Chain A
Amino acid sequence: GAVVSQHPSWVICKSGTSVKIECRSLDFQATTMFWYRQFPKQSLMLMATSNEGSKATYEQGVEKDKFLINHASLTLSTLTVTSAHPEDSSFYICSARNDATNEKLFFGSGTQLSVL
């Protein structure tokens, strides 16, 4: 079946550093990918919609300069948390829409980010 690989699965970093998270669709093409964030005991919240070859669309309240999204190919989107702070510590998860079927969404396994 369709697989989305998300890497790394967990990362610990110092405050002020930047962290890059990768989301790859392994056996299908995905023009559209989505980035979600989940704080403890809260819902998965959509942060942004990543579109191959164009700028990402950010949800209200999400800082585009802090959460940089690059979707340079049909199989890879990256989320970079710039100048991370402890309040950015969260679980980040991506999903990819299969271009062939358009309906189905496939999710990565998530990245747990801890900022010290």
Chain B
Amino acid sequence: GNSVTQMEGPVTLSEEAFLTINCTYTATGYPSLFWYVQYPGEGLQLLLKATKADDKGSNKGFEATYRKETTSFHLEKGSVQVSDSAVYFCALVIQGAQKLVFGQGTRLTINP
């Protein structure tokens, strides 16, 4: 079946630290991969996406590269800020299907 596994949180970092949140997946077809972010009191927002192998999604200083050989889509940011504190969800959708499959989410807290 299709599934997404994220590194377990919570993750706490200091401002300007380097961030990696691991995400691996299993899929029966050719998935598109996504990172969603949920800030406190708000809905999930699409952060970035990649639709095929070796694609790199990027937004707001965050990056993730679609690695087919390792079935991974790790989220990285070189220098985090307090405003990045949120819950991050990795997700996939099999192309042609409607259903998003989510990881369990990783809560990130950045301390000043």
Complex-state Cα separation, A35 to B4, whole angstroms: 18
Residue among B38, B44, B89, B103 having the largest count of chain A Cβ atoms under 10 Å? B44
Besides the known contacts A44-B100, A107-B36, A107-B38, 8 further A-B residue pairs in the complex with CB atoms under 8 A apart: A34-B98, A41-B104, A43-B4, A43-B105, A44-B102, A46-B101, A108-B43, A109-B41
Complex-state Cα separation, A108 to B44, whole angstroms: 7
Complex-state Cα separation, A44 to B100, whole angstroms: 9
Residues of A within 8 A of B36 (CB): 107
The answer to whether the Cβ of B99 comes within 8 Å of any Cβ in the partner chain is yes
- B-contact 0/1 string along A42-59, CB 8 Å cutoff: 111110010000000000
Complex-state Cα separation, A94 to B72, whole angstroms: 27
Partner pick for B44 among A45, A97, A104, A107, CB 8 A cutoff: A107
Complex-state Cα separation, A82 to B87, whole angstroms: 29
Given known A44-B102, A44-B105, contact A105–B43 (CB-CB < 8 A)? no
B: residues with CB less than 8 A from A are 4, 8, 36, 38, 41-46, 89, 98-105
- B-contact 0/1 string along A89-111, CB 8 Å cutoff: 00001010100000011111110
A: residues with CB less than 8 A from B are 4, 6, 9, 32, 34, 36, 38, 41-46, 49, 93, 95, 97, 104-110
Complex-state Cα separation, A106 to B42, whole angstroms: 11
Main secondary structure of the interface of A (DSSP, over half): strand
Residues of A within 8 A of B98 (CB): 32, 34, 49, 97
A39 (CB) vs chain B CBs: closest residue: B104
Cβ B102 vs Cβ A105 within 8 A: no
Complex-state Cα separation, A71 to B100, whole angstroms: 20
